[in-house]
Amino acid sequence: MKREIIFLSAVILTFILAGRINSQVVNRNQPPLLPPPSALNLPAIQQFVLSNGLKVYLMEKHEVPVVQLNVVVKAGIADDPAGKDGAASMTAAMLTEGAAGKSSLEIADAIDFLGARIYAGPGYNYTDIALHTPLSKFNDALRLLADIVLRPDFPANELNRKKKERLTNIMQWHDQPTAIAGIAFNKLLFGSNYAYGKPAIGSEETIKGFIPSDLKNFYDKYFNSTNSFIVAVGDIDKDNLKKDLEREFGGWKTGEANNNKLHDAPQVEKTTVYLIDKPAAPQSVIYIGRIGLPRITPDYNAVYVMNTILGGSFSSRINQNLREKNGFTYGASSNFSFRVAAGAFTASSSVQSEVTDKALSEFFKELNGIREPVSADELERAKNYVALGYPGNFQTVRNIAAQLEEKIEFNLSDDYFNKYISNILSVSNQEINTAAQKYIEPGKMIVVVVGDKNKIEDGIKKLNLGELKNLSIEDVLGKIPQID
């Protein structure tokens, strides 16, 4: 009897649902409407200070028993000493190659045994030493991290190995059109003496010249508790974290804060095309751009949405034009690099050699087109794209820690994350147009093309984009390094 009642109920429910579905009008000519983006509500960011003045920022996330802890030192590539390009990058790379008497292999074995990950790397203004560990191994992993941050050895044999690795990288760049184009673009846009214009790893000359004391000097100048902070995210509470950090990092020496200031590079004043010959290359790598704007600006939200329309998403104008409409490439995009000082605006792609001139023409068509008012529908799609994707930045403890670092580095407001989506959704058409007029000037761009000169030069000349200058790969990268 009970089974009959259940069966009868299921049949009745099926008919009711079928009736409701059939009564709805389904328009199959357009995708279903998305719900409005939901507001982001994150846990509070807790702050405390260790006895030596080291600042700590914590966001508790207890869903998964893992912890992400990043030690951030306020010095990076922009702080390389004169004549020592690559010092920040090499110092960071060497931190895990020997510390507190442990060899690089011993450190690597210890990290693997704990099921943890430790990474050290520089940005332009900051160096990160990041730990990701299971909560059950946190104390042991934190002790190992403290050895790496506080007691690095900079062993000469490991430095020599790293030097050969980097010289090999430079050697390989000579046969990589994308690397050639990216390095040339930064060098030509910012200048070879500006921090953003130089390869982070340095040059053949500076790499070969490094000795352990160079790295030790950089470390001693910038690595101290006054010039650093810690970001922690994960399954740990404030009291326990403070106790653990005081034990491992409370004795870190104090020192001076880094007050180096990086000013904006001079803006591009006219369009110049730089053609770098790569004989027999089947594709041309294109970089187009100019100086953009720093991260801290009232125009940030408008510029971000505007670039989403232009080239910052798969459905952007540039990608739809060059990939979907014309089939010139597998992908084309544009990007603003937001840094302490103004970074680059870049539009780029790799295209078939025979359509290099046509691709350049379409790039500039879109760069001019974005300066015209956009439709309400296109603006709405772009804002929803940004807003709906934003919570993805907070899916893992590593992602959250990176977001917290950005907040601290750029002194963003305490409610920045929770208000981000509403701020993006409030961007107006007028703000988009003003941002495009202000930051996209097609008549004042540098253009870098790496490809087969014999195939593409005549077509580029006919476009009359600006003065055309021919460069060789050696003009950009120097001669192929000799590795001892």
Give the separation between CA 125 and CA 315, rounded to whole angstroms: 33
Give the separation between CA 189 and CA 266, rounded to whole angstroms: 9
End-to-end CA separation in angstroms for the chain: 88
Residues pairing with 349 in the sheet: 286, 332
pLDDT greater than 60 at residue 22: no
pLDDT digits (tens, 9 = 90+) for 51-82: 999 999 999 999 999 999 999 999 999 999 99
pLDDT greater than 80 at residue 408: yes
Amino acid making up residue 66: V
pLDDT digits (tens, 9 = 90+) for 344-380: 999 999 999 999 999 999 999 999 999 999 999 999 9
pLDDT mean across residues, the chain: 94
pLDDT digits (tens, 9 = 90+) for 94-122: 999 999 999 999 999 999 999 999 999 99
Q: What is the DSSP string of 121-177?
A: EE-SS-EEEEEEEEGGGHHHHHHHHHHHHH-B---HHHHHHHHHHHHHHHHHHTT-H
pLDDT digits (tens, 9 = 90+) for 213-262: 999 999 999 999 999 999 999 999 999 999 999 999 999 999 999 998 89
Coil/strand/helix, residue 348: strand
Give the model's pLDDT for residue 332. 98
pLDDT greater than 70 at residue 25: no
pLDDT digits (tens, 9 = 90+) for 255-287: 999 998 899 999 999 999 999 999 999 999 999
pLDDT greater than 50 at residue 5: no
CA atoms within 13 A of residue 116's CA, in its CB half-sphere: 28
Give the model's pLDDT for residue 34. 65
pTM over 0.75: yes
